[in-house]
């Protein structure tokens, strides 16, 4: 993926130009981080990264991220699956009984380092497959020569006729995203992180994609607890940059505690 290669080069440039030696990462085995990045992201044209991006790289390859964050993800996702299983079962039955189609919806998203994975949600639409119009949106943005809040690319129609009555309820309460706990358990996602995106959105991120690329996408994050769809796409990208450059376990716990009132108030949930 060309866009991903450019961003990977940025990360590698940080490691080499800053003289940063990370050694072996517990999440990558015995190969050095630089070797992995060089194999994954072939060098072409590099640019000098910002201090924020350098900070994001160091945090994403730290022992805290590789070991402590993963341990927390496994423990909490396992606990939540057990505690929330009755709710997930009720939602599954409601989806199956009220509209034709599968109970679950899956779609390919970009994970850490651009590795694709299938995100799992409860189906909330009548159609069996979401219509992904991001490519068409990219064309509009290129014609406008700028991105702005009025041209927010992923703004959701209110109301959307494709959404089922049950789907409207579970979206409002974010219950449609509960199956993503299994994505977390599998290591494809984290409880907290950037909002998972499709490949077509990489172009919208531009150079800022480097921040997204370094971390596993999360079920919740700064965007989700700050207004979700009420917030423009540019601000969403800024949230990913802020999260990546200042990540800590304390920040994750803060976001988790803010998630509960954000879900209950349903701000920005459509």
Whether 45 has a pLDDT exceeding 50, the answer reads no
pLDDT for residue 232: 85
CA dihedral 137, 206, 185, 12 (to 10 degrees): 160
Mean of pLDDT values over 199-212:
92
Q: What is the pLDDT of residues 67-80, one digit of tens each?
A: 999 999 999 999 99
Measured CA to CA, the distance from residue 134 to residue 112 in angstroms comes to 20
pLDDT for residue 139: 54
Whether 203 has a pLDDT exceeding 60, the answer reads yes
Could you identify the residue written with the tokens 């349903």? 266
Q: What is the pLDDT of residues 110-159, one digit of tens each?
A: 999 999 999 999 999 986 544 444 445 455 555 544 444 444 445 554 56
Angle at 251 between CA 248 and CA 256, to 5 degrees: 130
H or E element in which residue 191 lies? strand 190-192
Closest CA to 97 of 194, 156, 164: 164
Q: Name the average pLDDT for the chain.
A: 79
pLDDT for residue 184: 98
């Amino acid at each position: 993926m060309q866009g991903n290669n450019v961003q990977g080069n940025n990360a590698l440039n940080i490691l080499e130009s800053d003289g940063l030696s990370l050694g072996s990462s517990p999440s990558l085995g015995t190969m050095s981080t630089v070797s992995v990045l060089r194999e994954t992201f072939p060098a072409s044209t590099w640019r000098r990264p910002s201090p924020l991006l350098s900070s994001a790289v160091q945090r994403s390859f730290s022992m805290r991220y590789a070991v402590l964050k993963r341990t927390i993800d496994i423990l909490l996702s396992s606990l939540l699956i057990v505690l929330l299983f009755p709710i997930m079962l009720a939602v599954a039955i409601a989806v199956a009984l009220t509209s034709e189609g599968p109970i679950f919806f899956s779609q390919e998203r970009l994970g850490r380092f651009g590795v694709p994975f299938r995100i799992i949600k409860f189906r909330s639409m009548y159609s069996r497959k979401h219509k992904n119009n991001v490519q068409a949106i990219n064309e509009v943005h290129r014609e406008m020569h700028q991105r702005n809040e009025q041209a927010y690319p992923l703004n959701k129609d209110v109301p959307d006729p494709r959404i089922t009555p049950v789907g409207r309820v579970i979206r409002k309460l974010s219950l449609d995203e509960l199956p993503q706990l299994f994505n977390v358990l599998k290591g494809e996602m984290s409880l907290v992180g950037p909002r998972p995106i499709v490949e077509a959105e990489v172009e919208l991120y531009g150079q800022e994609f480097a921040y997204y690329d370094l971390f596993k996408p999360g079920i919740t994050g700064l965007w989700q607890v700050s207004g979700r769809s009420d917030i423009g796409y540019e601000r969403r990208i800024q949230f990913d940059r802020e999260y990546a450059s200042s990540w800590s376990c304390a920040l994750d716990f803060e976001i988790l505690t803010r998630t509960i009132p954000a879900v209950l108030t349903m701000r920005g949930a459509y």
